Chains A and B, each alone.
Chain A
Amino acid sequence: AQKVTQAQTEISVVEKEDVTLDCVYETRDTTYYLFWYKQPPSGELVFLIRRNSFDEQNEISGRYSWNFQKSTSSFNFTITASQVVDSAVYFCALSDPPQGGSEKLVFGKGTKLTVNP
């Protein structure tokens, strides 16, 4: 069965610090997709990134970077020079191949990041 583990429940940093959010996943499928979502206090889940299982290239988008390692089944997310606006709950999610043509996202429990000024 698919499973996503975000071991860090809460993280607190001071502005401008770098912070890494860990995500470890389990799946028996060779084809799968991994996602990161941000949920600020307002409630809306904001899509950040998608990565497929055949593409292990790391990605950088501004202050955000992602490290995908199939060997350790991890898809970690780093925020460089954190800002107060980065304060949110971050969810890592896994999507398995369709079952009868339907898709399901398996979410981790989330990591609450607080960036203090």
Chain B
Amino acid sequence: DTEVTQTPKHLVMGMTNKKSLKCEQHMGHRAMYWYKQKAKKPPELMFVYSYEKLSINESVPSRFSPECPNSSLLNLHLHALQPEDSALYLCASSQVVWEGYEQYFGPGTRLTVT
């Protein structure tokens, strides 16, 4: 099973709201990733977690706050977002953080900030 699940599928939030995106995998992977993808663009890496510890933060604004409660779960907490943050947010996982392992992606959450 190579499934990564993400909830919710769609999210509309105002600029003053607080919301969270959730990602889950049961493949025993120890590396998990958040990507942001704008329309007609490739995914952009936001965060990488390795063994539940944050290993990469690609200079993401603090209004995005990641959390990895355990090896299967990854959350992205959202607060005071801007309309330009509207995008598809993709979660991915891989066996470990190493260049040779493929990443498996979830279906994404389509976020609209109003």
**CB-based contact A103/B41 at 8 Å:** no
**CB-based contact A102/B55 at 8 Å:** yes
Question: With an 8 A cutoff between CB atoms, is A101 at the interface?
Answer: yes
**CB-based contact B48/A102 at 8 Å:** yes
**CB-based contact B94/A103 at 8 Å:** yes
Set of chain B residues within 8 Å of A32, measured between Cβ atoms: 99
Instruction: Kindly state the separation between the CA atoms of A107 and B90 in the bound complex, as whole angstroms.
Output: 14
A63 to chain B: closest CB distance in Å?
Answer: 20
Count the A-B residue pairs with Cβ separation under 8 angstroms: how many?
Answer: 67
**Partner-binding segment picked from B21-29, B64-72, B78-86, B105-113:** B105-113
Set of chain A residues within 8 Å of B41, measured between Cβ atoms: 109-110
Q: B99 is contacted by which of A37, A46, A98 (Cβ under 8 Å)?
A: A98
0/1 string, B37-58, CB within 8 A of A gives 1: 0001111010010100001100
Chain B residues with a Cβ under 8 A of chain A: 2, 31, 40-43, 45, 48, 50, 55-56, 88, 90, 92, 94, 97-108, 110
Q: Which 7 A-B pairs have the closest CB atoms?
A: A107-B42, A45-B105, A95-B99, A44-B107, A43-B108, A102-B55, A103-B97
